[in-house]
């Protein structure tokens, strides 16, 4: 256990930030799951609406340093490709 005041404070901050980051990651994973479900159902309007919400959630996670910007860029690119395939009628599994 920490003995110095500064290290005790750091331990408290770590616990708090861990909880916040876990909540943010959970929110992002939920948005991604809803997006995948909308794509699987094949409903274009619902998928487009969910895409906007998912992208917003992903961008917020970058601002809060929960996910790396390249990771989020990859997620958005792949989701957009699947959305475009759905719109064109060539559904990718």
Question: At the topology level of CATH, where does 5-88 sit?
Answer: Methane Monooxygenase Hydroxylase; Chain G, domain 1 (1.20.58)
Q: Is the pLDDT of residue 93 over 60?
A: no
pLDDT tens, position by position, 19-53: 999 999 999 999 999 999 999 999 999 999 999 99
Q: What is the pLDDT of residue 23?
A: 95
Q: What is the mean pLDDT of residues 61-85?
A: 96
Q: Are 29 and 66 in contact (CB under 8 A)?
A: no
User: Could you state, in order of their start, the residue ranges of all structural domains in the chain?
Assistant: 5-88
Q: Pick from 78, 8, 67, 32: which is nearest to 86 by CA?
A: 78
């Amino acid at each position: 256990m920490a003995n110095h005041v500064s290290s005790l404070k750091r331990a408290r901050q770590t616990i708090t930030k861990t909880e916040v980051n876990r909540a943010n990651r959970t929110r992002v994973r939920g948005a991604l799951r809803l997006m995948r479900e909308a794509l699987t159902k094949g409903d274009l309007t619902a998928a487009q609406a969910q895409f906007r919400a998912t992208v917003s959630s992903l961008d917020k996670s970058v601002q809060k340093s929960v996910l790396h910007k390249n990771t989020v860029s990859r997620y958005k690119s792949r989701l957009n490709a699947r959305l475009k395939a759905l719109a064109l009628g060539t559904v990718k599994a």
